[in-house]
């Protein structure tokens, strides 16, 4: 039996922040942001937590499949901005959705969270431990970004994407393989210093603004190009998929220049690479499911299409999934 994505949904908060917004706040320019990142605008939620981004995305996904929340038996939330440290955001989503028969948990894989979550979801469904699993990637990055730091504040956005994972009869489609890497040496290249068990929240941590994300941009950039290209090359080779046979590469959306460099290394034309970070920025755990949902709703995927979903992020973490599209 195969596990497959059988429905998708996404949600972006309505408030759009163009680069001009940052020009007014910080020593930056639209030209710098566009040329260095490819980002034109992003969305920020005015209130609520990550669960409030996920729930509308989940409803859209379930509506697309025509099933009620009570039909779900498991919910996984990939996020680095949970509503609270405890309980899990999955539990909050379960309550808000009314998914009364679902158990679930959060998964912390930062920008690779959705890819890692899709592997876990696949295994749960393949073994019969779950039959209708909702995998959610969502982040309210505006809750952890320092508005005074031009090096990070322009990069991120808020949003959520969800996919339904179910067993399918046709063994030729669905989620077929994965490759994952991790290198904990990257811990301090992209991290939030305080608010965890190493440095619990205190008056000092608050005063020093240590609850915001910190990034060594160039170090992460270099590692991301190599890491994302490596996992993608490895998964294609292992599954005997020629680059020419790949319908779409669905990369994590952090920086257009990273995506272009990865595509170039693979010898893949940008016409087969999904790019939407110009409109949403880096929504971390949400980038890949938002991209999948947008392309699915626009009818850009065909049953049987070969897709590689590839991510790189904090940790460092990296992962790639090979699947064949299973929605007719």
* Residues lying near ligand UT7 in the complex (CB under 6 A): 28, 32-33, 36-37, 111, 150-151, 154-155, 217-218, 220-221, 224, 254-255, 258, 282, 313
Active site residues: 111, 252, 282
Please spell the DSSP secondary structure of 178-191, one letter per residue.
EEEEE-GGGGGGEE
312 contacts: CB under 8 Å, gap ≥ 6: 111, 112, 223, 224, 227, 228, 231, 252, 254, 258, 318
Return the number of the residue (112 or 162) whose C-beta is nearest ligand UT7: 112
325 contacts: CB under 8 Å, gap ≥ 6: 5, 173, 247, 301, 302, 303, 304, 305, 307
Burial zone of 143 (CB within 10 Å; 0-12 exposed, 13-18 middle, 19+ buried): middle
Residues 133, 73: contact at Cβ < 8 Å? yes
Q: At 267, is the secondary structure helix, strand, or coil?
A: coil
Return the number of the residue (167 or 193) whose C-beta is nearest ligand UT7: 193
CA distances from 225 to 82, 219, 248, 320 (A): 27, 10, 18, 13
What is the closest distance, in whole angstroms, from the C-beta atom of residue 32 to ligand UT7 in the complex? Answer: 4
Return the number of the residue (254 or 266) whose C-beta is nearest ligand UT7: 254
What is the closest distance, in whole angstroms, from the C-beta atom of residue 202 to ligand UT7 in the complex? Answer: 27
Please spell the DSSP secondary structure of 210-229, one letter per residue.
TTS-EE-HHHHHHHHHHHHH
C-beta nearest to ligand UT7: residue: 217
245 contacts: CB under 8 Å, gap ≥ 6: 306
Return the number of the residue (129 or 151) whose C-beta is nearest ligand UT7: 151
Sign of CA pseudo-dihedral 195, 228, 186, 122: positive
Return the number of the residue (81 or 282) whose C-beta is nearest ligand UT7: 282
What is the closest distance, in whole angstroms, from the C-beta atom of residue 258 to ligand UT7 in the complex? Answer: 6
Return the number of the residue (91 or 258) whose C-beta is nearest ligand UT7: 258
CA distances from 186 to 84, 154, 277, 312, 313 (A): 25, 22, 24, 11, 9
What is the closest distance, in whole angstroms, from the C-beta atom of residue 306 to ligand UT7 in the complex? Answer: 25
What is the closest distance, in whole angstroms, from the C-beta atom of residue 139 to ligand UT7 in the complex? Answer: 10
Sign of CA pseudo-dihedral 267, 271, 276, 277: positive
What is the closest distance, in whole angstroms, from the C-beta atom of residue 226 to ligand UT7 in the complex? Answer: 11
């Amino acid at each position: 039996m195969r596990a497959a994505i059988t429905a998708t949904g996404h949600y972006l908060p309505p408030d759009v922040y163009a680069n001009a917004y940052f020009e007014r706040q910080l020593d930056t320019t639209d030209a710098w942001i566009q040329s260095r990142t490819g980002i034109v605008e992003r969305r920020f939620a005015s209130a609520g937590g990550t669960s409030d981004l996920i729930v509308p995305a989940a409803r859209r996904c379930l509506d697309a499949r025509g099933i009620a929340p009570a039909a779900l038996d498991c919910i996984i939330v990939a996020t680095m901005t949970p509503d609270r440290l405890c309980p899990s955001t999955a539990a909050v989503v379960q309550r808000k959705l009314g998914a009364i028969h679902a158990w679930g948990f959060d998964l912390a894989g930062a920008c690779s969270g959705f890819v890692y979550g899709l592997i876990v979801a696949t295994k749960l469904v393949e073994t019969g431990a779950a039959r209708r699993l909702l995998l959610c990637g969502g982040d309210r990055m505006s809750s952890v970004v320092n508005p005074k730091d031009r090096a990070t504040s322009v990069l991120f956005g808020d949003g959520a994407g969800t996919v339904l994972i179910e067993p399918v009869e046709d063994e030729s489609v669905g989620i077929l393989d994965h490759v994952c890497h991790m290198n904990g040496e990257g811990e301090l290249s992209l991290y939030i210093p305080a608010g965890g068990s190493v440095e619990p929240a205190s008056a000092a941590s608050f005063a020093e603004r240590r609850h915001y994300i910190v990034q060594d941009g160039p170090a992460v950039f270099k590692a991301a190009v190599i890491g994302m290209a490596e996992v993608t090359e490895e998964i294609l080779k292992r599954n005997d998929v020629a680059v020419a046979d790949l319908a779409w590469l669905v990369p994590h959306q952090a920086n257009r220049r990273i995506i272009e460099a990865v595509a170039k290394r693979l010898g893949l034309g940008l016409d087969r690479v999904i790019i939407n970070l110009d409109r949403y920025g880096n929504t971390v755990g949400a980038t890949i499911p938002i991209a999948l949902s947008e392309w699915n709703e626009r009818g850009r995927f065909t049953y049987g299409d070969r897709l590689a979903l590839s991510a790189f992020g904090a940790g460092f973490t990296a992962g790639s999934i090979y699947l064949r599209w299973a929605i007719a």
